[in-house]
Amino acid sequence: MTGIGENPRKQTSEQILVKAESLSDNDLIEAFKNGNEDAFFEIVNRYKHAITNYLFRILNDYEEAVDLAQESFVRVYINLDRYHGEYAFSTYIYRIATNLAISELRKRKRWRLFSLTGVFQSDDEDKDLELEDKNPLADCELLEKEQQKRIAVALSSLPEKYRLPLILCDIEGLSYQEIAGILKLRIGTIKSRISRGRKLLKEKLRGYFDES
């Protein structure tokens, strides 16, 4: 019986896919190091959406997020021999993506986490809204979208050192230890910055939500 680390030509694509899905990240990495390209494709499938969405939240540019996600996996592919499992693979790929995102942001003259372009409609666009529609569900959806925009604007104004840990924790759902590994900071520093970031975000949103 052939295994995931053996020549994939001896197995059907369906067999390889089923076996790959049942393996851990580290098992897939070892299989890839042993010459199984399908193992790497499974790694990409596991993380491509999460990494793309994470980069989009930082850059607010979907095409750029897709490009940097692809670049992240290219770097993983090239340098995977250097990964020895001393920390979770998710930490490894998020660290690469974070570094690429920070580099991209620093290339911009006026970089922010979320661009304000398109966040607020112009006066002409406002005229196109069907203001006479009294559908309660439609009103709720508009309110929710407006709240999301306000949060995005407030989040974009936070300093990078608070913004990135906050996104990784409250949006990506990563643990303090994982975030510390990604950002190469002490857990105590991560906790402090997340706490401070949340306070700053609440201060920026207090007036808006008090009025809602």
pTM to 2 decimal places = 0.64
Neighbours of 37 (CB within 10 A): 11
Residue 94 has pLDDT above 60, yes or no: yes
Q: What is the mean pLDDT of the chain?
A: 77
Q: Please give the helix or strand (H or E) that residue 23 lies within, else none.
A: none
- Give me the mean pLDDT over the 110-133 stretch: 40
Domain boundaries, the chain: 1-113, 114-212
CATH entry 1.10.1740.10 includes domain 1-113: yes
- Give me the mean pLDDT over the 35-39 stretch: 90
Residue range 114-212, CATH number: 1.10.10.10
Q: How far apart are CA 191 and CA 197, in angstroms?
A: 10
